[in-house]
């Protein structure tokens, strides 16, 4: 077999493995990268490098692997945009966390969202109490969107992250 075709097949296989792995471990993991997650990403990239290029450590081998990844990513995004089945297979749907002040405890529990994380998102949107939330959504990218019933509050987008400490609050 052509060594560059071998690299393309290996790279595409690793790409689809990573999509499946991220789907299994969930979107929550993508939205809250901490030190351990960054280390995991670096180690995964290092561990799959040899799986993609094999013994070929040449410049051309690396370029072929990168090109294969760019092409398969572009193609896969196009397929997802045209096929609802593939899109639903790979991506989760947005989930309602709060509707008209009522908390969806089952959903929050299933997604592993803590009360502190939900309250943080509310504070970042200028909302103090759950009953003031018209709609809180856990988006497909792992962020929490909040829409309040107050017309004067500016709506913002909250990207979930894990805090080691709240630190000092400046008033």
Write down the pTM of the prediction: 0.56
Say what the pLDDT of residue 162 is. 43
* pLDDT for 159 beyond 60: no
Strands 144-148 and 157-158: antiparallel
Pairwise pLDDT comparison (155 vs 70), residue with the higher score: 70
Report phi then psi at 103, rounded to 5: -80, 135
How confident is residue 171, by pLDDT bands cut at 50, 70 and 90? very low
The pair of three-digit structure tokens given for residue 48, joined into one six-digit string: 């799959």
Show the tokens assigned to 9. 């097949």
């Amino acid at each position: 077999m052509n060594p560059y075709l071998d690299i393309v097949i290996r790279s595409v296989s690793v790409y689809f493995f990573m999509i499946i792995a991220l789907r299994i471990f969930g979107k929550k993991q993508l939205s809250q990268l901490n030190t351990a997650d960054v280390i995991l990403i670096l180690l995964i990239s290092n561990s799959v490098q040899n799986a993609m290029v094999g013994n070929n450590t040449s410049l051309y081998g690396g370029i072929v692997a990168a090109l294969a990844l760019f092409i398969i990513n572009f193609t896969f995004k196009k397929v997802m945009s045209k096929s609802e089945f593939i899109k639903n297979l790979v991506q989760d749907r947005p989930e309602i966390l709060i509707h008209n002040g009522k908390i969806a405890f089952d959903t929050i529990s299933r997604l592993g969202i803590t009360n502190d994380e939900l309250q943080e998102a509310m504070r970042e949107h200028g909302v103090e109490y759950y009953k003031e939330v018209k709609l809180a959504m856990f988006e497909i990218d792992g962020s929490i969107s909040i829409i309040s019933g107050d017309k004067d509050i500016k709506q913002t987008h909250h990207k979930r992250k894990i805090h080691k400490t709240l630190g000092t609050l400046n008033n």
